[in-house]
Structure 1
Amino acid sequence: MNVAAPISGRVTNLTRSLLGALLLLFGAQACAEAQATSNLAEQRAKAVTQVVLGILSYARWPVEPVQLRLCLIGPTEYADDLVKGTTQATGRPVQVRRLLADDPRIASECDAIYIGKLSQDERSRLFTALSGHPVLSMSEADDPCTVGSLFCLRVSDRQVAFDVNLDSVARSGVRIHPSVLQLSRRRAAQP
């Protein structure tokens, strides 16, 4: 019985050491995967910011705002970089804030809105409230771009592209330079 005790103790210590090494290995692998996912999400957010700023630079309002007011509506997946605030290439600052979809200030205090995930009912009420107000709208969440939004982002691992709803553009009161419409067609043609 005395002989078995030291062997059992050595096996237990060896088992613990192996388990500890495996946990460290899997932990390091999980951290590396989390870091890669975080980097990819950060890259997507930066790419979305560039596309959003590009779209905004091609827009003209009936009365040009000195400071562009961009409102984020609903939960967003790619707007983290936008939230930090930014400046357009022209030097015009972009003030970014989050508002709820039913906030009555959207139509009067937002020059542009970036829409995340909303229910159909919320989207309908939002676009009803925006009717007659010059507000540029962009959607990020699986939007077929058939109702409401002027621009619908399509985010993938390789690029951020967008669709344009010409009917919504015509009704928005915001003028969009034709170059952005051509850019949309060109990106749609890319694989």
Structure 2
Amino acid sequence: MKLVPVLPLAVFVSAAAFGLAQARTAGTRAAATPTQPVLAKVVYVDDGDTLVALLPDHQQLKVRLANIDAPETGHGHCRPGQPHSDQSGRRLAELVKGRQVELRCMDTDRYGRSVCDVVMGSTTANRILVQEGLAWANRGGNGYVRDRAVYELEDRARAAHVGLWQDRSPTPPWVWRHTEWLAPQPGCVRKGDRS
């Protein structure tokens, strides 16, 4: 009888996270890379759709919430934040920071973040943010929405005038990035601009 070595779960989790990180190839959007769900502790919330989780092997995983796009936080004078960005980030922190969550990751974005659903019981933090009007269904490009339920949740939040839908005509983040961050602004030098 041949003995087969048994590897601890942490090795498989690390391999899955490594596989997600390596799925990105230069200049192209990575194909979906489904993995087994991973339990991780959320140690930091960057904004309304980005967090850092600690895996069982103590590796940190930067996570971009799948299917949604939250209002942009400010990054200095030249990259102003959107209305409701602080509220969105605070709500995500209330939901997940310091908690053990299940991550269902399916892709890696162009910044090397794992794109995941953050499962909370029978729903996800992703859905909760859209339902509460603190994020949009991510309509910024093809293939960004895999969970079609976020469209209906967004419609309900808009009809109820909750969160960002209290504003008359809120600007989606994918538009904001182009109109506010990429447009010329006094005193701001953009990468590639000539002086």
| Normalised TM-score (structure 2) | 0.28
Which has the higher relative contact order, 1 or 2, with Cα contacts under 8 A spaced 6 or more apart?
2
Larger helix proportion, structure 1 or 2? 1
Q: Which has the larger radius of gyration?
A: 1
| Normalised TM-score (structure 1) | 0.29
